[in-house]
Amino acid sequence: MEELKSYSQTLINRMDEELLHIRLDYPKSDQWAQLSIQIIEVYLDELKAYILEHPFKKRSEEIYFFKYVKPVVMGRMIFMCEVYNTEVFRPAHHTAEDKDYLVSETDEIDDFFDRNEHLYQYYKEDADVLDTKYFVRNVEDRFTKRDMAIDIDPIYFYGDRSFSTGFDYVFAKIRAMEMLKDHLDNEFEASMISGDDVPKPKLTFTGNNADFIEVVQMVKQIGMPPNPETGEPYTEQELFDKLKGGLETSLPNGIDFDTLKLISGNSDLPERMIDALDKLHDKWDEEDRDIDYEDPDTDKPNS
């Protein structure tokens, strides 16, 4: 047992040191999460190779490994995957939408703990009465082992039986969810401190003055929801002010819409838009056509 404990602790320390360096070198969550996943994969493979080369001498060693060792490493893996997934779908940081998103993600973690309350209590209390059912491989029947409600995960049945008891994964996920909750709480606090006053980048309008007039008139023609202050449709001047405020333009400062119309010529924007749409339709038609695959033996199209 002492040899297993010494080896396991050394491996976990090495892994955590590497993960810390990645975290310091790459400040963005999706970056350090993605790079960390690759590192943890190596350590999981090393763990599996170790127990295959050093079979457990006692059942207590098997329980120790699947209760205290593998869940730590696998928990890091699940955590990194969850962090990466969170960032993929996350709105722009430090916005109202971002705060709502982080709260929603945290609520899902709370739901996970509520749903697995009995097993979570078993984990927190470091209980051992069911260890021979949870952390020993090849248990005959995982359905009739306890008088508590626990989700049955498919991994109990299709996981690598030489390297999993099924419940080691659940314990790993519990550890991961605890870390993820702390991470999301920190992200939410940072979002609260930054507030909603973070400058939002503006799109740049690259057309000329006549093009801008055409855009205003097109929006007016298409129609918008009424002005919430007056209940009336937006005027061209109001639309001009809104578009000018939301875009980076080369329009003269302080100019109004009527003056801009007086000093501007005609725009060919509608014609250019129709031409662009025609080209896009041609491209779609081209992509829809059937094509010949390359023959790997001759490097020539099949005939």
Give the integer Cα–Cα distance in Å for 171 and 78. 11
If one compares 159 and 81, the residue with the highest pLDDT of the two is 81
What is the pLDDT, as a whole number, of residue 35?
A: 96
pLDDT band at 69 (very low <50, low <70, confident <90, very high): very high
If one compares 177 and 217, the residue with the highest pLDDT of the two is 177
What is the pLDDT, as a whole number, of residue 234?
A: 80
CA dist 84 → 31, 40, 207, 277 (Å): 8, 14, 39, 37
If one compares 71 and 298, the residue with the highest pLDDT of the two is 71
What is the pLDDT, as a whole number, of residue 167?
A: 85
| Phi and psi at residue 294, to the nearest 5° | -75, 140
| Phi and psi at residue 96, to the nearest 5° | -60, -40
Instruction: Judge whether residue 148 has pLDDT over 80.
Output: no
* pLDDT tens, position by position, 259-270: 777 777 776 766
What is the pLDDT, as a whole number, of residue 251?
A: 77
Instruction: Judge whether residue 1 has pLDDT over 60.
Output: yes
* pLDDT tens, position by position, 197-233: 445 566 787 777 788 888 888 777 777 666 767 777 8
If one compares 76 and 272, the residue with the highest pLDDT of the two is 76
If you average pLDDT over every residue of the chain, what do you get? 82
Instruction: Judge whether residue 66 has pLDDT over 80.
Output: yes
Reported residue count of the chain is 303
If one compares 100 and 301, the residue with the highest pLDDT of the two is 100
Provide mean pLDDT across the span 267-275. 71
Which pair of tokens denotes residue 299?
């490097």
What are the DSSP calls for 40-94, one per residue?
HHHHHHHHHHHHHHS--SSHHHHHHIIIIIHHHHHHHHHHHHHHHHHHHT--STT
Provide mean pLDDT across the span 122-142. 84
Q: Could you tell me if 195 and 94 are in contact, meaning their C-beta atoms sit under 8 angstroms apart?
A: yes
Instruction: Judge whether residue 64 has pLDDT over 80.
Output: yes
CA dihedral 181, 186, 191, 193 (to 10 degrees): 140
